[in-house]
């Protein structure tokens, strides 16, 4: 659905995107995550032909992003936190304006979205709150049933209730299209994403299927009979090692339940107890990003 190869984009002396490679498979919900300023929005704007790359290429729906035609654009829904709307129009007038551009516009789905997102048809867009404008953007992007839905930081500035309503509607539509979402709000995308890529300083630190990433990552606490120390040569898949009292804790990024006890016994002596727990998405990314900065492959 999307292919990015060696993508570079500069703004003056600053390189916002530095050789990004990504592949978004059809039917996936692919999340670009990373801190503000990491290059997520620049990447998406190149994909949407809002910006042109200096080097590399990107294809969307099989077409070079620099040559997207009305045909392809009619199959792409786009929602951005900085999206501009005509403030003098009402919500209803704006929807009336959009419908003729899309042959597949579904009036029944439009009505369903308006009801579920509680959008006021008679209110001028300029009088809407930020959260209501983001919901309006979603209500405009879904009725023509796009093959690809691109969401650029859609949760930024939304209160908890609006986020929940937005996510609930998004999840209900997710099976019918491919979704590309950028966000620094990890909890929101955890229940949506099937694939994930972490971007920092314009580079992809890692990308993986969400299920595989969560399956191979565990928090481990090893209780010893004596004082714990960080071993001088731990396995490379042990990161974030900490010793406190008789407990050595670490994150195992290549977790295999059957082989963990043998791996621990090969490094540590006098093991009393081993406790293994799943790791939240935020902790996974923090640990993996820190390990990559320290030169540890993840």
Domain boundaries of the chain, sorted by first residue: 2-209, 216-293
CATH number for the segment(s) 216-293 = 3.30.70
2-209 against 216-293: fold identical: no
pLDDT in tens, the chain (298 residues): 999 999 999 998 889 999 999 999 998 999 999 888 889 999 999 999 999 999 999 999 999 999 999 999 999 999 988 889 999 999 999 999 999 999 999 999 999 889 888 899 999 999 999 888 988 998 999 999 999 999 998 877 667 777 777 777 777 766 678 999 998 777 777 778 899 998 988 999 888 999 999 999 999 999 999 999 999 999 999 999 999 999 999 999 999 999 999 999 999 989 999 999 999 888 888 888 777 766 665 5
Please state the pTM of the whole predicted model.
0.85
Encoded tokens for 27: 């039917």
Residues 2-209, CATH architecture? 3-Layer(aba) Sandwich (3.40)
Rounded distance, CA 244 to CA 79, Å?
47
Q: In whole angstroms, what is the distance from residue 36 CA to residue 195 CA?
A: 20
How many CB atoms neighbour CB 177 within 10 A? 19
Residue 169's nearest CA partner among 113, 130, 119, 118 is 113
Q: Which tokens in the block code for residue 8?
A: 């570079």
- Residues 6+ away with beta carbon under 8 Å from 16: 9, 10, 39, 42, 202
């Amino acid at each position: 659905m999307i292919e990015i190869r060696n993508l570079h984009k500069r703004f003056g002396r600053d390189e916002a995107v530095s050789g990004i490679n990504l592949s978004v498979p059809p039917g996936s919900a692919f999340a670009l995550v990373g801190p503000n300023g990491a290059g997520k929005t620049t990447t998406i704007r190149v994909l949407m032909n809002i910006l042109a790359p200096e080097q590399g290429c990107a294809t969307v729906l099989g077409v070079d992003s620099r040559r997207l035609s009305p045909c392809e654009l009619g199959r792409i829904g786009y929602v951005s936190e900085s999206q501009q709307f005509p403030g003098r129009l009402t919500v209803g007038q704006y929807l009336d304006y959009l419908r003729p551009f899309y042959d597949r516009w579904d009036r029944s789905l439009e009505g369903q979205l308006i009801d579920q997102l509680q959008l006021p048809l008679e209110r001028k867009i300029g009088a809407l709150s930020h959260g209501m404008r983001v919901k309006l953007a979603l209500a405009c992007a879904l009725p023509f049933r796009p093959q690809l839905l691109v969401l650029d930081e859609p949760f930024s500035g939304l209160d908890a209730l609006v986020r929940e309503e937005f996510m609930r509607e998004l999840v209900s539509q997710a099976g019918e299209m491919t979704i590309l979402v950028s966000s620094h709000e990890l909890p929101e995308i955890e229940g949506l994403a099937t694939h994930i890529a972490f971007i920092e300083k314009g580079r992809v630190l890692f990308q993986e299927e969400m299920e595989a990433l969560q399956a191979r990552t565990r928090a481990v606490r090893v209780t010893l009979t004596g004082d714990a120390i960080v071993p001088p040569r731990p396995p490379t898949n042990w990161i974030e090692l900490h010793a406190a009292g008789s407990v050595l804790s670490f994150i195992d990024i290549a977790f295999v339940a059957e082989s963990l006890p043998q791996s621990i016994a090969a490094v540590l002596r006098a093991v009393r107890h081993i406790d293994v727990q799943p790791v939240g998405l935020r902790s996974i990314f923090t640990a993996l990003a820190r390990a990559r900065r320290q030169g540890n492959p993840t």
